Amino acid sequence: MSLTFDEFLKVDIRVGRILRAEPFPEARNPAIKLWIDFGPEIGEKKSSAQITVHYAPEELVGKLVLAVVNFPPRQIGRFMSEVLVLGAPDEACEVVLVTPDIDVPVGGRMY
């Protein structure tokens, strides 16, 4: 399936900085709850991410991530996930976060 550039631009992918991370033991699959700052335009949003193989909550605080910010929120158990944090599978199909390799301002849009 091909996609036009204008269709791609409808997906709003932004840089955010993780402010807080907590284990999410109630999740069906092992996950971590994230609170992410996307800057003044978007603000703070929450996400549930299945990233427990490669990350511990305490090492995520301060990390920059990329996330889709214009999908509708999803209820995950008792937690409302508002953005989709992006990752890529490693050789074992475990999620590795997509992150900028240098410090960039939060809220920046990916093109």
CA–CA gap between residue 77 and residue 80 (Å, rounded): 8
User: CB 64: neighbour CB atoms within 10 A?
Assistant: 20
Domain membership of residue 12 (yes or no) is no
Domain membership of residue 106 (yes or no) is no
Domain membership of residue 105 (yes or no) is no
Query: Domain containing 91: what range?
Result: 17-97
Total domains, the chain: 1
pLDDT in the model for residue 1: 85
Domain membership of residue 26 (yes or no) is yes
Domain membership of residue 5 (yes or no) is no
pLDDT in the model for residue 64: 98
Domain membership of residue 48 (yes or no) is yes
- CATH code of residue 66: 2.40.50.140
Element (H, E) at 5: helix 5-9
Low-confidence ranges of the chain (pLDDT < 70): none
Identity at 88, one-letter amino acid code: A
Domain membership of residue 40 (yes or no) is yes
Domain membership of residue 53 (yes or no) is yes
